[in-house]
Amino acid sequence: MGDLDEVPAAPVDPMPALTLAPLSGRTGLRAAGEISLGTRGEWERALRDVLCEDDDVYYLELSAVTFADVAGVGALADAAQRLPDGRRIVLHRPPAVVSRVLEMFWPGTAAIEVSMS
């Protein structure tokens, strides 16, 4: 068979990536990439660290998050619900899907505040 009969290989999607870096000047993390099955362990470890902090407010800068699945948002809601009274997580510019999923499955979670500014 000739070269025309060869089928090119389909491009392989790389594993999803999630980059987490401490914020400067306040307690929290900047997340970039995907919050999904492939990055869930990393995301959940970061959320466990939130529970260990002593500050009343923990900031998550999410403007560079390109995708978040329901389980990843659920892990966020679970961490917020486990915070002691008076503590909260502020989500800075989360992707729309995060806000929608929170409203659908965890409406009124008092320990989560969304800031779009």
Domain 15-115, architecture per CATH:
2-Layer Sandwich (3.30)
First-last CA distance in the chain: 60
Cα–Cα separations (whole angstroms), residue 91 to 2, 4, 8, 15, 96: 56, 52, 43, 25, 12
Pairing of strands 112-115, 57-68: unpaired
Q: Distance between CA atoms of 55 and 98, rounded to whole angstroms?
A: 23
pLDDT in tens, 66-100: 999 999 999 999 999 999 999 999 999 999 999 99
DSSP 39: G
Percent of the chain exceeding pLDDT 70 equals 88
